[in-house]
Amino acid sequence: MGLFHKNKQQEKTSCCCGSCTPEAMSQAEAGKGSGGVKVLGSGCAKCNALEQAAREALAELGMETTIDHVTDFAQIAAYGVMSTPALVVDGKVVSYGKVLKKDEAKVLIQKVRG
Protein backbone atom coordinates (compact mmCIF):
# COMPACT_ATOMS: atom_id res chain seq x y z
CA MET A 1 0.00 0.00 0.00
CA GLY A 2 1.26 3.45 -0.88
CA LEU A 3 -0.13 5.04 2.27
CA PHE A 4 2.48 3.50 4.54
CA HIS A 5 5.58 4.46 2.57
CA LYS A 6 5.92 8.04 3.75
CA ASN A 7 9.58 7.58 4.68
CA LYS A 8 10.73 8.02 1.09
CA GLN A 9 13.14 10.93 0.72
CA GLN A 10 11.86 13.57 -1.64
CA GLU A 11 14.34 15.55 -3.66
CA LYS A 12 14.83 19.00 -2.15
CA THR A 13 14.78 22.05 -4.38
CA SER A 14 16.30 25.41 -3.72
CA CYS A 15 13.12 27.46 -3.41
CA CYS A 16 9.52 27.20 -2.38
CA CYS A 17 8.06 26.82 -5.87
CA GLY A 18 10.13 23.75 -6.69
CA SER A 19 11.07 24.85 -10.20
CA CYS A 20 14.38 26.57 -9.45
CA THR A 21 17.59 24.74 -10.11
CA PRO A 22 20.78 25.29 -8.10
CA GLU A 23 22.32 26.89 -11.20
CA ALA A 24 19.47 29.40 -11.50
CA MET A 25 19.73 30.27 -7.82
CA SER A 26 23.50 30.80 -8.04
CA GLN A 27 23.01 33.13 -11.01
CA ALA A 28 20.38 35.03 -9.04
CA GLU A 29 22.71 35.37 -6.04
CA ALA A 30 25.51 36.62 -8.28
CA GLY A 31 23.27 39.29 -9.81
CA LYS A 32 22.14 40.37 -6.37
CA GLY A 33 25.59 41.59 -5.36
CA SER A 34 25.91 44.20 -8.07
CA GLY A 35 25.25 47.84 -7.20
CA GLY A 36 22.98 50.33 -8.87
CA VAL A 37 19.23 50.77 -8.85
CA LYS A 38 16.90 47.92 -9.73
CA VAL A 39 13.17 47.49 -9.97
CA LEU A 40 11.97 43.97 -9.23
CA GLY A 41 8.72 42.89 -10.81
CA SER A 42 6.98 41.17 -13.67
CA GLY A 43 6.87 44.22 -15.93
CA CYS A 44 3.31 45.21 -15.13
CA ALA A 45 1.99 48.79 -15.01
CA LYS A 46 2.84 49.13 -11.29
CA CYS A 47 6.42 48.02 -11.89
CA ASN A 48 6.77 50.45 -14.76
CA ALA A 49 5.33 53.27 -12.63
CA LEU A 50 7.88 52.54 -9.89
CA GLU A 51 10.68 52.52 -12.46
CA GLN A 52 9.55 55.91 -13.79
CA ALA A 53 9.35 57.41 -10.28
CA ALA A 54 12.84 56.09 -9.47
CA ARG A 55 14.19 57.46 -12.76
CA GLU A 56 12.75 60.91 -12.01
CA ALA A 57 14.12 60.81 -8.45
CA LEU A 58 17.60 59.92 -9.69
CA ALA A 59 17.46 62.72 -12.27
CA GLU A 60 16.54 65.27 -9.58
CA LEU A 61 19.39 64.03 -7.41
CA GLY A 62 21.82 64.34 -10.32
CA MET A 63 22.70 60.63 -10.21
CA GLU A 64 23.05 58.07 -12.98
CA THR A 65 19.53 57.22 -14.15
CA THR A 66 20.23 53.71 -15.45
CA ILE A 67 17.81 51.29 -13.82
CA ASP A 68 17.80 47.53 -14.26
CA HIS A 69 14.35 45.95 -14.41
CA VAL A 70 14.57 42.41 -13.03
CA THR A 71 11.71 40.17 -14.16
CA ASP A 72 13.22 36.74 -13.44
CA PHE A 73 11.44 35.31 -10.41
CA ALA A 74 14.51 33.37 -9.27
CA GLN A 75 16.47 36.62 -9.10
CA ILE A 76 13.59 38.38 -7.33
CA ALA A 77 13.39 35.54 -4.78
CA ALA A 78 17.14 35.87 -4.15
CA TYR A 79 16.42 39.30 -2.69
CA GLY A 80 13.83 37.80 -0.34
CA VAL A 81 11.04 39.81 -1.95
CA MET A 82 7.63 38.18 -1.91
CA SER A 83 5.54 41.08 -3.20
CA THR A 84 6.35 43.31 -6.12
CA PRO A 85 7.09 45.91 -7.29
CA ALA A 86 10.25 46.36 -5.27
CA LEU A 87 13.04 48.93 -5.36
CA VAL A 88 16.66 47.91 -4.73
CA VAL A 89 19.41 50.49 -4.25
CA ASP A 90 23.03 49.28 -4.20
CA GLY A 91 21.98 45.72 -3.33
CA LYS A 92 19.62 46.73 -0.50
CA VAL A 93 15.84 46.30 -0.78
CA VAL A 94 14.40 49.67 0.25
CA SER A 95 10.75 49.16 -0.70
CA TYR A 96 8.45 46.36 -1.78
CA GLY A 97 4.78 45.79 -2.42
CA LYS A 98 3.85 49.34 -3.41
CA VAL A 99 4.40 51.98 -6.04
CA LEU A 100 6.44 54.85 -4.65
CA LYS A 101 5.96 58.45 -5.63
CA LYS A 102 8.99 60.32 -6.93
CA ASP A 103 9.59 62.09 -3.61
CA GLU A 104 9.35 58.84 -1.63
CA ALA A 105 11.86 57.16 -3.95
CA LYS A 106 14.13 60.19 -3.68
CA VAL A 107 14.23 59.98 0.12
CA LEU A 108 15.00 56.24 0.09
CA ILE A 109 17.76 56.63 -2.50
CA GLN A 110 19.33 59.47 -0.51
CA LYS A 111 19.16 57.40 2.67
CA VAL A 112 21.13 54.52 1.10
CA ARG A 113 23.56 56.61 -0.93
CA GLY A 114 23.79 59.61 1.40
The structural domains of the chain, ordered by start, are 36-114 (3.40.30.10)
Q: Is 60 exposed, middle or buried (0-12, 13-18, 19+ CB in 10 A)?
A: middle
Burial class (CB in 10 A: 0-12, 13-18, 19+), 16: exposed
Please provide the size of the chain in residues: 114
Q: Which of 20-24, 46-50, 52-56, 57-61 is least confident?
A: 20-24
In the predicted structure, residue 5 carries a pLDDT above the cut 90: no
Tens of pLDDT, residues 71-92: 999 999 999 999 999 999 999 9
pLDDT of residue 9: 47
Query: pTM of the full predicted structure?
Result: 0.73
- Mean pLDDT across 12-39: 61
**Which residues are tagged catalytic?**
44, 47
